[in-house]
Structure 1
Amino acid sequence: MHFSTNCIVFHISRKLFEGLHHRVGEVTCTTNYLKEVNSRMPFPLKSPRKTLFAKMLFALTVTVTLLIIGLSSLLYRNFFTASLDNINRMNTSILSQTSYSMKYMDTLVSKFINTVMMSPYTSVLLHNQENDMVMLGNALRNLDNLSLPHDYVHSVYTINLTLDRIISTETGSFYTKENFYDQGIISLLQTVNKNSLAEMPIARKIPKPQAATDSELANVYTYIMLDSLDTNQKSRIATVINIKASVLRDLIASLNAKIAGSGNEIIVIDSNGTIVNHTSESMFLHNANQESYIQTILAADQESGSFKTNLNGQDYHVTFVSSDKPKWKFISLTSYKTFIGAADATKTSTLWICLTILGLGLFFSFILSRSLYIPVGRLVETVRGHLTNPHHKDHSTNDIYFLQNVFKEMITKNNEWENKQREQLAPLKNKWLQDMLLGIRYIDQEALQVSQKELGIHLNLNGPLRLLLLRLDNYRDFLDRYDEKDRWLLKFGIANIVNEIISEGYKLENIYLENNQLLLLLEIDSSENIETTEGTLRGLIELAQHAVNQYLKLSFSATLSSPVYSYFQLNECYSNTLALSSYRIIAGHSSFLTPTFRSSIKETLISFPESKAKMLLDSLKLGHLDKANEAYYDFISQLSGTTYENLLSSIMQLSFMLRTTFNVILENHEFQKPELFQIVSRNIEQFETIEEIHETFLSIFSEIIRVMEQNKHNKHNSIISRIIKVIEEQYRDNNLNLRLISDEFQMSNVYLGKIFKEATGKSVSEYITDVRMNHVKQLLDNSNLSTKQILDQCGLEETNYFYTIFKKRFGVSLSQYKIEKNKT
């Protein structure tokens, strides 16, 4: 027993002095050999307490420091990325609205062009070969009348180079080719070809008629309608429409003012890199294609995107979208200074928090390292005691007992460590699967098998797989009702319920995603056909939805992907499944969407139902809520069966038309639901079902009509107050009547009399008589003027009608009234 004890103690001591932390092994040795080894050691057997303790403290300190640096860097980077994503989404929304505005303006101009081209007056101005000034002048006036209602039209030219006759509605004059003030259109007309016409409109600067200097130019977009492209260029006949560039510029400035800070700008360029709209008029037609960010945008294959650039020593975030007709690029430049302040504040706060945590970490590292070292130090002292006091045989049993306790403690701590590792295995596995799903991680077959074994993934990732994406319904309400901890627990509960039910028929892995998403990766039997799988899963999902609703009072919608046969296809499959889940807006809450459902959606693009939208706007203008609601449902029915993207695009265009038509009302402080309109116009993707969109629009319609009625009521009250004031001031004028007042107000006497009678219960003439009679009574009571003098001051004449009115109003005749007054 004594022999075995000394062997074990010697081996442990040697391992400790060499700084190794391996398992204790059995060796054969004798007591004399132990003494001999001890005597040959090149250093005295002193306790390595200080050296080992320092190493443990250093290791813990470095670990804590690196952990804090890594976490703080990750936190700052994520916050910065989130800020950048938010700016990008907001800018993209603004640019999309601007693009829709341009398309809307182009549609209005096209209608106006058709009106002009179909007008017989245009034909007279273009083709009449006789210079009959009476006929031409009459046609010009009528053409000018066509333009007047359209405030976005700058001018209209009719040009006949064969007859050398040019007519402009801007001046209402006739010109020859040599004396026409806009020589640019002459040159353009002689060089225009089929490609040029396809690029309409053409951004230009045109001089103002009889301008004092050449710098007095107007910025316009020009549309050219040639009678024929085959005509000789020097004898062409054309109609030219010039549209004010300020219309689009003012809209851009209005949208940009709501989000922009210092250093932010929205510009529009054509396909050559020339600026065709800018908040500064001086930048119009400025050639910007030498700018590096403009070259990047022009060379981009995507229709939209974002990137970082440096302008004049400052960093800018560039966001752009494109339009098909015209082929323009809408660009937003956002200075990093506008949002970097919040990121810097977060960086400073993070730095202080990290320093605080680092201080606490150092303190706890010191305490922890001492605690960890105590049993090791005791063991070292015991071993040293055996080597220096070999004659103390009575301690052998106690030493064994001590070593047993040490190993038990080590085993206990090792088990605790393994338990912690198992607890961390779930988030590690979830992160690994997330990276595979999002295409972040690339891995070969050999590494795949190793990772699957380490993480405990039992699916065959090279076999038939299908994704089942679950999305929480009413997610905004879910965020409002529960805090972060409760939300995590509820999502965990949903995952457990679904996992328990689905796992009865399929092997699966849960993948927790951000926001309202939970994904199940299912392994499918290769012999099972697609229809059978979808039918089986539909039944299981309905059971899970019922259980979640019963126990958690929540609901979710499910989307099933097409089969994939390799883990390399997971990223593309997830993107397609996520896009398919967007059709919950049509299918509704608690829906189950499959690739079969997607195939039922029409791929053909449904054009925007403009006639229904115009009927809706006209009904709102007239204050007919029922007709407006009916027109809205007709508008939505026209989009039945269209794609998700086309549906949202049409609804956003409708919201833009609402904003353009009722901008004054929507910006009015009386409008009590501005947040609803903001969601529709900028964050429409937050809506989960089409019913939510219906409810929001109907609420907006109701609020618009309410504000219109309120404004109308306030306007009537103001008019009534002004009429009463006029009567009080001018009652002495015996010619004062309803017609005289209506002429002063420049309003219809019938309308004015109607609203006055509705507000006061009396006609204007009755009210004038009442005011005059009240003043007559005051003068009778407080003066000694004669009846004629009193009547002259009150705008009345001494007639039988006056005496009749007086008796009817005061109950006695004028003479009796005077007698009663003298008595009192």
Structure 2
Amino acid sequence: MKFLLKSPRKTLFAKMLLTLTITVTVLIIGLSSLLYRNFFTTSLDNINRMNTSILSQTSYSMKYLDTMVSKFTNTVIMSPNTSILLYNQENDMYTLGEALRNLDNLTLPHDYVYSVYTINLALNRITSTETGNFYTKENFYDQDIVNLLQTMNKDTFTEMPIPRKISKTQAFTASEATNVYTYIMPDNPDTNPSSRTATVINVKASVLRDLIASLNAKMADSSNEIIVIDSKGTIVNHTSENLFLHSVGQEPYIQTLLAANQNSGSFKTKLGGQDYQVTYVSSDKPKWKFISLTSYTSFIGKVDTIKTSTIWICLIILGLGLFFSFFISRSLYIPVGKLVKTVKEHVATAHPKDHQANDIYFLQDVFKEMITKNNEWETKQREQIAPLKNKWLQDLLLGIRYVDQKEMKARQKELDIHLNMNGQLRLLLLRLDNYRFFLNQYDEKDRWLLKFGITNIVNEIVSEIYKLETIYLENDQLMLLLEINPSEKAETTEATLKKLIEITQNAVKQYLKLSFSATLSIPVDSYLQLNESYSDTSALSSYRIIAGHGSILTPAFRSTINETLISFPESKAKILLDSLKLGHLDKAKEAYDEFISLLTGTTYENLLSSIMQLSFMLRTTFNTILENHEFQKSDQFKLASRNIEQFETIEEIHEAFSSIFTEIIRVMEQNKNSKHNSIITRITQIVEEQYRDKNLNLRLIADEFQMSNVYLGKLFKEATGKSVSEYITDVRMNHIKHLLDNSNLSTKQILEQCGLEETNYFYTIFKKRHGVSLSQYKLEKNKP
């Protein structure tokens, strides 16, 4: 009999355990497969999105460079120096040389310009700022441009820029070619090719290449490759200079790109037996395609790692699930078994006379034990309800979960939600201020405790008037779900909540030393509208960037926003860049303030895109400074390298730009001083080497530097306190004194060796310098 009672219970227990095991195993396998597939898709989407963003930045930078070159070209064409070099038929080398030096000075502030040519085939005269010399078309070192000018027709003049290589033949030494983009501005395309006149601007291709290398460095894996091709499939830029002008038009993926009608897109291809993801963006002017090649191995490895990790985690979960399911099943089975055993023992040992009294006490003990176990079970359930309720409300808010009315009623009771989810509701979104400081200052446990503390303060104050539920969201967000009396006016609700929020903000600042901003949604009539309301409220909270920390944004704030798209203030941006180039920090900051003021009242997206565009212009114009290793170690670089979206207020953005402006001008001033010091040192060397030359003067030295003698003289005097002629005289007089003291040469011989003539001027200078005449100096020297 005992065996018969015990065996069915064991069989039932085994069936429960087996069913639970199979269910958990199937769920884990299904969820693992879904997780792997979703992670692969997400990784690929992220790669495409990041590549498209970087390619768009590169495309925009090239358009901006093209615009700058166009403006510079107009400046060159309108310059009188260009007219002299192109059309002056008299070969007055003094006039032409001065014009060429002035044209070279015009190009100096524009770092992206490699050289400027003026070509007049009818006069057979070509000039180049690269060498500072004059050429005929037969001996010009860049024969490619001569051939281009003679062979191009009217249509091809519009296809600018032209990617080319220029052989460096300066100082009669050949070296590697320079990659450039050439803009040819003919005086009249219809002119006879053999007598054409044109201005040619050669722009450094390295400007775009450096930018591509900089942006490519942001990629997580070095296997990513960025290529720029023209409409014929020729590489016009690449991180490797050797591939410049290399034709890839026969590659299948390039043919697919050239045939594509869309401006951007992505697809998979095979290169060298490996899978690559191709992402591309097209530009209208110039008609180039910007391509990113990302090897699948760069992210498949991570996916496979996740796959392996997932398998191990699933196996661990399966093992733990079996372990706990065994003990849970036992815990469910043991009380029943004990109860049956107790009843059996009681029946076996009870005396018939005491049977009735024993039954009463026995049942009392059984029910006490059952109540104790039930209380323990309910306590465990309550501990699990809070995170389950938060996750369920979070999914409802984010639109991850759809809930019908029947499930809503069941969930409200199960999760202890006291709000009327079919009544009027409002969202109150709280966002922690200075969140990056919050992350750096506290560890994960402290951050959770502080968020919990904020929630308790908010609940204590706001719940005095409104029923609410708190929802913990990711990052810097906390959400309050409020139940509103439908008869209460919206203005009254907003005024009441504003007072409650201000009280809460003061309490949080006092007790937790933290600050938060709040955003209130419009009323909704049902829980079904919560996801849409959350999206709208989250978008409105972005305007904290304008309102500042500790702000309270209500739906009424939208009326202050100008929804009309404000165009990018390009004129103010140009003034800003020009002021920085000239080293005028105050004017640069003033231009920046005017730039921001023109965007006042615009939408968050409009403001952000304009600031990002200004940031791109800064990086393009001052790429050499901003990518400098020393600058990257500075605090300014840390500010500049942060994404604009990570700034919480406009004041933080102002501070970042101000620091960058200051650093740019500091580096420029440092480079300028270094360049000036180099020039001064070289002038002193020239004087020391050539002081014997009677014709040595400021003009000859200026010609050697190919600079204006007025500018060079001013630069030298500011640095040394003497004019160049005074310095030449000092050097000569020092050498004269040395020869007088250490040789038996005559005065005439000494003066000839020192580049002076025996004139009254010399004797006057000598007496003024030494306090005695030359004859007296010799007498004193010869005294025993």
TM-score under structure 1 normalisation?
0.68
Please, which of 542, 545, 548 is the counterpart of residue 588 of structure 1?
548
Q: Does residue 707 of structure 2 align to residue 747 of structure 1?
A: yes
Q: Does residue 217 of structure 2 align to residue 253 of structure 1?
A: no
Please, which of 572, 577, 589 is the counterpart of residue 617 of structure 1?
577
Alpha-carbon separation, structure 1, partners of 2:311 and 2:338: 40
**Partner residue in 2 for 1:813:** 777
CA change 1:429–1:292 in 2 (3 A) is farther
**Partner residue in 1 for 2:454:** 494
Please, which of 671, 694, 705 is the counterpart of residue 654 of structure 2?
694
Whether the 8 Å CA contact 1:314–1:335 is kept in 2: the answer is: yes
Alpha-carbon separation, structure 2, partners of 1:371 and 1:649: 61
Q: Deviations over 1:68-106 (max 9, x none)?
A: 989999998998788667656643542342353355357
Please, which of 650, 657, 679 is the counterpart of residue 617 of structure 2?
657
TM-score under structure 2 normalisation?
0.71
Whether the 8 Å CA contact 2:736–2:750 is kept in 1: the answer is: yes
**Partner residue in 1 for 2:529:** 569
CA change 1:68–1:103 in 2 (3 A) is same
Alpha-carbon separation, structure 2, partners of 1:370 and 1:446: 34
Structure 1 residue matching 2:631: 3-state secondary structure: coil
Q: Deviations over 1:376-428 (max 9, x none)?
A: 77777767767888999999999999997787566544433322221221111
Alpha-carbon separation, structure 2, partners of 1:223 and 1:434: 61
Please, which of 744, 750, 753 is the counterpart of residue 791 of structure 1?
750
Structure 1 residue matching 2:532: 3-state secondary structure: helix
Alignment of 1:311-330 (within 5 A): 311=270
Alpha-carbon separation, structure 2, partners of 1:742 and 1:730: 14
Shift of 1:532: 2.2
Q: Does residue 405 of structure 2 align to residue 445 of structure 1?
A: yes
CA change 1:627–1:686 in 2 (3 A) is same
Q: Deviations over 1:705-749 (max 9, x none)?
A: 111111112122222333333344445556555444333333344
Structure 2 residue matching 1:509: 3-state secondary structure: strand
Whether the 8 Å CA contact 2:419–2:468 is kept in 1: the answer is: yes
Q: Does residue 762 of structure 2 align to residue 804 of structure 1?
A: no
**Partner residue in 2 for 1:505:** 465
Shift of 1:553: 1.3
Alignment of 1:273-422 (within 5 A): 279=238, 281=245, 309=268, 311=270, 332-342=292-302, 344-345=304-305, 411-422=371-382
CA change 1:316–1:725 in 2 (3 A) is same
Q: Does residue 418 of structure 2 align to residue 455 of structure 1?
A: no
CA change 1:705–1:572 in 2 (3 A) is same
CA change 1:278–1:523 in 2 (3 A) is farther
- Compare CA radii of gyration and give the structure with the larger one: 1
CA change 1:378–1:592 in 2 (3 A) is closer
Opposite residue 700 of structure 1, the aligned amino acid is: I
Q: Does residue 479 of structure 2 align to residue 519 of structure 1?
A: yes
What is the number of equivalent residue pairs in this alignment?
A: 704
Alpha-carbon separation, structure 2, partners of 1:804 and 1:116: 52
Q: Deviations over 1:138-157 (max 9, x none)?
A: xxxx9xx9x9999699999x
* Cα root mean square deviation, aligned: 5.7
Please, which of 516, 540, 543 is the counterpart of residue 500 of structure 2?
540
Whether the 8 Å CA contact 1:585–1:688 is kept in 2: the answer is: yes
Alpha-carbon separation, structure 2, partners of 1:648 and 1:117: 37
Opposite residue 479 of structure 1, the aligned amino acid is: L
Whether the 8 Å CA contact 2:281–2:289 is kept in 1: the answer is: yes
Shift of 1:536: 1.9
Greater alpha carbon shift after TM alignment, 568-577 vs 327-336: 327-336
Structure 2 residue matching 1:617: 3-state secondary structure: helix
Whether the 8 Å CA contact 1:466–1:561 is kept in 2: the answer is: yes
Q: Deviations over 1:177-213 (max 9, x none)?
A: xxx8457x66x99xxxxxxxxxxx98999999xxxxx
Alpha-carbon separation, structure 1, partners of 2:560 and 2:595: 21
Q: Does residue 394 of structure 2 align to residue 434 of structure 1?
A: yes
Opposite residue 488 of structure 1, the aligned amino acid is: W
Structure 2 residue matching 1:603: 3-state secondary structure: coil
Whether the 8 Å CA contact 2:113–2:204 is kept in 1: the answer is: no
CA change 1:263–1:283 in 2 (3 A) is farther
Structure 2 residue matching 1:787: 3-state secondary structure: coil
Whether the 8 Å CA contact 2:625–2:631 is kept in 1: the answer is: yes
Opposite residue 750 of structure 2, the aligned amino acid is: L
Alpha-carbon separation, structure 2, partners of 1:743 and 1:770: 22
Opposite residue 568 of structure 2, the aligned amino acid is: F
Opposite residue 804 of structure 1, the aligned amino acid is: K
Whether the 8 Å CA contact 1:152–1:247 is kept in 2: the answer is: no
Shift of 1:655: 1.3
Alpha-carbon separation, structure 2, partners of 1:275 and 1:562: 56
Whether the 8 Å CA contact 1:249–1:277 is kept in 2: the answer is: no
Q: Does residue 435 of structure 2 align to residue 471 of structure 1?
A: no
Alignment of 1:637-656 (within 5 A): 637-656=597-616
Whether the 8 Å CA contact 2:235–2:246 is kept in 1: the answer is: no
CA change 1:499–1:84 in 2 (3 A) is farther
Structure 2 residue matching 1:554: 3-state secondary structure: coil
Opposite residue 586 of structure 1, the aligned amino acid is: I
Whether the 8 Å CA contact 1:264–1:335 is kept in 2: the answer is: yes
Shift of 1:117: 13
Shift of 1:768: 4.8
Please, which of 673, 683, 701 is the counterpart of residue 713 of structure 1?
673
Structure 1 runs not aligned, ≥5 long: 1-37, 120-133, 135-141, 157-168, 190-200, 209-217, 225-238
Shift of 1:504: 2.3
Whether the 8 Å CA contact 1:616–1:629 is kept in 2: the answer is: yes
Opposite residue 654 of structure 1, the aligned amino acid is: L
**Partner residue in 2 for 1:213:** none
Structure 2 runs not aligned, ≥5 long: 80-88, 90-98, 119-142, 166-178, 186-197
Alpha-carbon separation, structure 1, partners of 2:77 and 2:682: 47
Whether the 8 Å CA contact 1:268–1:328 is kept in 2: the answer is: yes
Percent identity between the two aligned chains: 65
CA change 1:174–1:572 in 2 (3 A) is closer
Q: Deviations over 1:110-130 (max 9, x none)?
A: 8689999999xxxxxxxxxxx
Q: Does residue 60 of structure 2 align to residue 100 of structure 1?
A: yes
Opposite residue 795 of structure 1, the aligned amino acid is: C
CA change 1:636–1:750 in 2 (3 A) is same
Alpha-carbon separation, structure 2, partners of 1:807 and 1:205: 65
Please, which of 508, 531, 539 is the counterpart of residue 579 of structure 1?
539
Structure 1 residue matching 2:652: 3-state secondary structure: helix
Q: Deviations over 1:47-87 (max 9, x none)?
A: 99998998898899889989998999999899878866765
Opposite residue 645 of structure 2, the aligned amino acid is: E
Alpha-carbon separation, structure 2, partners of 1:710 and 1:647: 34
CA change 1:674–1:360 in 2 (3 A) is same
Alpha-carbon separation, structure 2, partners of 1:657 and 1:369: 67
CA change 1:344–1:448 in 2 (3 A) is same
